Amino acid sequence: MIIKRIDHVSIAVKDYEKARRFFQDILGAIPCSHATDSTMNYRWQLFSLGDLSRFEILTPTAENSYLDGFFKDRHGGVHHITLQTQDIVKAKSALDAAGIPYFGEKDYGDVWKEIFIHPKHAFGVLIQIAQFNPDDWLAENVRMPDLRKFEVDSLEEGCSIKFAHPGGGTVNVRLSDEEAKLLIDKLKNAIS
């Protein structure tokens, strides 16, 4: 399988501050990595929302933004979907074998490698396929510290376990006393 998962959905907006307030202040999204591209005149901001959900806001920063064509017929909306691959070379080979063209190939070393599939070849959706480490793009408070795989906290009834997710970020699971004891038994049997 060349695709591991959907990493995020990108939303293009004309009013970044209004969108940021909506997603961050009202819905509770956590701001993560961001940057401005002065050659293409746009800014991107990644957000984390709950366990394992991410989205990105794209907004123009000056005239002649690469987003101008997108905004020609709309006020905003879903711009593209980013799919994570473990191996961009294998992803390109699979697309080549299927006769599906791609464009915009960029290689930023170990940090990020990407290609795009035009909406006319992907059922009306611009698809970005990228190879990267998801945790590199998240805020520290939504990923596991020190490369740990899990944390356990006692609760009044049972416990809470936070697991590192291979797609970046964490998953939180609450277990009753009975479920926790069953998990302990199963783990003991699995390693003995």
CATH of the domain at 97: 3.10.180.10
- Determine the pLDDT at residue 165: 87
Where helices occur in 65-115 by DSSP H, the ranges are 68-71, 88-98
- Do 34 and 107 fall within a single domain? yes
> Do residue 73 and residue 161 come from a single domain?
no
Co-location of 128 and 151 in the same domain: no
The pLDDT score that the predictor gives to residue 141 is 86
Q: Which residue has the tokens 């009013």?
A: 15
Token pair 């909406």 is found at 119
148 and 133 within one domain: no
Residues 42 and 108 in one domain: yes
pTM listed for this prediction: 0.87
Residue 143's pLDDT is what? 87
Same domain for 66 and 121? yes
Structural domain boundaries, residue 31: 5-137
Q: How many domains are there within the chain?
A: 2
- Residues of the chain under the 50 pLDDT cut: none
pLDDT value of position 153? 95
Are 133 and 160 part of one and the same domain? no
pLDDT at res. 144: 87
Q: Are residues 50 and 113 in the same domain?
A: yes
Distance CA 96, CA 93 (A): 5
Q: Are residues 171 and 96 in the same domain?
A: no
81 and 153 assigned to the same domain = no
